[in-house]
């Protein structure tokens, strides 16, 4: 019985040590992912498989995490771990972690057809798994004014940038005022827009009188500026 109890104690200590090492790996991995990709700690969930290579990790050791991957996590993420003891790297291990990212996003309350103007009331804010759409998801701090659907958005879809576009203030074929400043002289003429454009966009326009095509910046609805 005595030997049996000692065996249980040793097994318990080893199991506890493995759990502690696993927790440290998870925490260090999460800290690295959060800092590198500027994420909130609450949005990141990390899981790692048991790896016996970490068995020699001591409580007093430091753990440094890094990766050669430059893209944001897409589920499985390859990482390297330096085990540092007394200021010296005693081992470098390669492993992978499963990374899930959850953030608030706009979710459509109804179907929105392509070309339809976006109304903020058509969306609710909901916590979503954005692991595979991290770069595309429209965050709630983005204003949806002056936007329209670039493709059909289904009810329940998390809103992505590829689903929307700004509503142009100038459309192809519109008659526009072309303004040009030369020194202290301001000149205006009438032209035809050859492309759609939002404020700040550079588009092709045609001088209606000379038929000459120019590049102009959209200033406001029906007005473009040619810089000289």
Q: Which fold has domain 175-226?
A: SH3 type barrels. (2.30.30)
185-219 pLDDT, tens digit each? 888 999 999 999 988 899 999 999 899 999 999 99
CA atoms 50, 78, 33, 135: torsion sign: negative
Kindly write down the DSSP assignment for every residue of 150-172, as one continuous string. SS-B-TTPBPBGGGEEEPPSB-T
Question: In the chain, which segments carry CATH 3.90.1210.10?
Answer: 102-166
Q: How far is residue 179's CA from residue 193's CA, in Å, rounded to a whole number?
A: 13
Distance CA(12)–CA(215), nearest Å, equals: 75
pTM of the model: 0.66
As annotated, the residues of the chain forming the CATH 2.30.30.760 domain(s) are 175-226
CA–CA gap between residue 153 and residue 114 (Å, rounded): 8
| Structure tokens that stand for 221 in this block | 């609805």
Task: Indicate the SS3 state at residue 115.
Answer: coil
Angle 74-120-220 from CA coordinates, rounded to 5°? 100
- Strand 175-182 to 223-226 pairing: parallel
pLDDT in tens, the chain (228 residues): 444 444 433 333 334 455 567 889 999 999 999 999 899 999 999 998 877 888 888 889 999 999 988 888 888 899 999 999 999 999 999 998 999 999 999 999 999 999 999 998 999 999 999 999 888 999 999 989 889 999 999 999 999 999 999 989 999 999 999 999 877 788 899 999 999 998 889 999 999 989 999 999 999 989 999 987
Token look-up 């200021």 returns 87
Closest CA relative to residue 159, chosen from 96, 115, 105, 114: 105
Average pLDDT, the chain: 87
- What's 102-166's CATH class? alpha beta
Ramachandran angles phi, psi of 9, nearest 5°: -65, -45
Q: Check residue 198 and report its DSSP letter.
A: -
């Amino acid at each position: 019985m005595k030997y049996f109890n000692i065996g249980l104690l040793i097994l318990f200590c080893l199991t506890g040590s493995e759990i502690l090492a696993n927790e440290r790996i998870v925490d260090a991995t999460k800290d690295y992912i959060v800092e590198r990709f500027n994420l909130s700690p609450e949005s990141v969930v990390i899981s790692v498989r048991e790896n016996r290579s970490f068995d020699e990790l001591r409580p007093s050791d430091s753990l440094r995490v890094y990766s050669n991957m430059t893209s944001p996590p897409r589920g499985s993420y390859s990482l390297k771990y330096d085990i540092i003891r007394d200021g010296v790297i005693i081992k470098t291990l390669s492993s992978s972690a499963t990374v899930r990212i959850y953030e608030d996003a706009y979710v459509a309350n109804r179907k929105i057809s392509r070309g339809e103007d976006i109304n903020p009331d058509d969306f609710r804010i909901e916590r979503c798994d954005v692991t595979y759409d991290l770069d595309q998801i429209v965050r709630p701090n983005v204003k949806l004014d002056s936007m329209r659907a670039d493709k059909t958005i289904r009810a329940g879809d998390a809103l992505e940038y590829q689903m929307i576009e700004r509503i142009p203030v100038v459309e192809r074929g519109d008659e526009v005022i072309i303004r040009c400043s030369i020194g202290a002289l301001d000149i205006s003429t009438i032209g035809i827009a050859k492309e759609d454009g939002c404020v700040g966009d550079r588009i092709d326009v045609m001088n209606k009188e000379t038929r000459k095509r120019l590049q102009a910046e959209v200033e406001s609805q029906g007005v473009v500026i040619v810089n000289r």
